[in-house]
Amino acid sequence: MEESQSVAIEFQKVVKKFGNFTAIHNANLKINDNEFFTLLGPSGCGKTTLLRMVAGFEDVTEGNILLFGQKFMHLPPNKRSVNTVFQQYALFPHMTVYENVAFGLRMKGWSKGNIDTTVREMLDLVRLTPFAERKPNQLSGGQQQRAALVRAIAPKPKVLLLDEPLSALDLKLRQAMRMELKQLQKETGITFVFVTHDQEEALAMSDRIAVMSEGVIQQIGKAQQIYEGPKNEIVAKFIGETNILDASVVGLNKEETKYRIAEDFIITGESVEGLTKNQNVKILLRPEKIRITPLNVNATALRGVIEESMYLGTDTEYQVKVSGGVILKIRDQNGFERRELISLGSHIGLSFSKDSIRILSS
């Protein structure tokens, strides 16, 4: 399926150095046409650099980037049919919203009539028509955001680059804009490359995500793949809450694998290929996959003592001390099963299914 789609942007062995500092290590990445693709990572991981190289604001030190199979790295930014939505919007302060949206079209040499029709269409699309004659500083943050968005979309770029466009908005607005962005991508059919450090944003909007850290693309995949099956510790730690446990393999057979985490703390997971006995591994266990059970139901169940609890509304996060002094994070939903919080110091039982245990490659 993925192979049949045309590739909008392809990074081929891209390396970027700033002096002695290597910002991007050998990046290989294919972004498909009509895809909402997200580059996710902590600040300074090189995601913005990757974007700026596509836009033409940074050179590529080694390797190449192709736009629909064509070389375009030799072109200056104003000759590239990609547009950017900047983090602080960069709306021209001396121009009205209308003039801002018209700017790119005017520079492209469109006819007056064409410009007018397109600008009005664009302003309509994001409900900014009543604000067309306002200057950017007379708009709210959300309106500025939408103006910057249509300014970049109006010239009908082949690819739209979005550099943390939501980070300046407050939470409620940010959540509303997520929906709007995703809808806009579907309506326009333009490939979106979205840069963010906010994992929730990435999970909510993207068709696919590339997780980056320290200039390296760690993993590429759909939201669910990345959350449920992180390749390594970096990805696991960056996306969502995690318990990462050092363990050694103590038992292997076709159905299951047994891991020892501490002296009398042995857990069972599905069988995994390529493991050998006594091998040291890192195990990922998401806090929401662990169930708190009454102590006496199953004598073989894991036991623990509640050390800490944090009430978060929809759910509660507990820190539970299990045998061997290991602390596990547990997320317990405050749904219809849970009537009241479990008090600190309570002894509880813990259970989880075999398939919630993941082995991280180091």
Partner 1 sequence: MTQVYKQKRAFDSLRIWLLLPSWVTIGIFLLIPVGLMLVISFMTKEFRGGVIWELSLAAYDQFLFDRGLFGDEPPTIQWTYIVIFLRSIVQAAIATFFCLLIGFPTAFFIATRDSRNRTFWIFLVTVPYWVNLLIRTVSLKFLIRDNGPINEFMISLGLISEPLGLINTNLAVQLGLFYSYLPFMVLPIYASVERFNFTFSEAAADLYADKWSTLRRIVLPIVAPGIAAGCILVFIPSLGAFLAPDLLGGAKNFMIGSLIEEQFKGNAGNWPFGAAASMILLTMVLIALMLYTRQQAKSELT
Q: Which stretch binds partner 1 (CB under 8 A): 11-19, 90-98, 168-176, 271-279?
A: 90-98
State the residue for tokens 């703390």: 265
Q: Which stretch binds partner 1 (CB under 8 A): 4-12, 85-93, 185-193, 225-233?
A: 85-93
74 binds partner 1 (CB under 8 A): no
Q: How many other C-beta atoms are found inside a 10 Å radius of the C-beta of residue 10?
A: 17
Q: Where are the beta strands (DSSP E) in 139-237?
A: 159-163, 191-196, 208-213, 216-221
Q: 303 with 350: CB under 8 angstroms? A: yes
What is the total count of residues that contact partner 1 (CB under 8 A)?
A: 23
> CA-based diameter of the chain, in Å?
79
Question: How far apart are the C-alpha atoms of 251 and 245, rounded to whole Å?
Answer: 17
User: What is the closest distance, in whole angstroms, from the C-beta atom of residue 62 to partner 1 in the complex?
Assistant: 23
- Tell which positions 135-164 bind partner 1, by CB under 8 A: 151-152, 155
55 binds partner 1 (CB under 8 A): yes
User: What is the closest distance, in whole angstroms, from the C-beta atom of residue 97 to partner 1 in the complex?
Assistant: 14
92 binds partner 1 (CB under 8 A): yes
User: What is the closest distance, in whole angstroms, from the C-beta atom of residue 30 to partner 1 in the complex?
Assistant: 23
First-last CA distance in the chain? 30
324 binds partner 1 (CB under 8 A): no
Nearer to partner 1, 133 or 308 (CB): 133
Q: Where are the beta strands (DSSP E) in 124-205?
A: 159-163, 191-196
Q: What is the DSSP letter of 232?
A: B
Of 5, 6, 28, 57, which lies in the binding site for partner 1, with binding defined by CB under 8 A? 57
Instruction: Extract the tokens encoding 354.
Output: 């075999």
Of 3, 21, 74, 76, which lies in the binding site for partner 1, with binding defined by CB under 8 A? 76
Q: How many other C-beta atoms are found inside a 10 Å radius of the C-beta of residue 125?
A: 19
Chain contacts with partner 1 (rule: CB under 8 A): 55-57, 76-79, 82-84, 86, 88, 90, 92-94, 103-104, 107-108, 151-152, 155
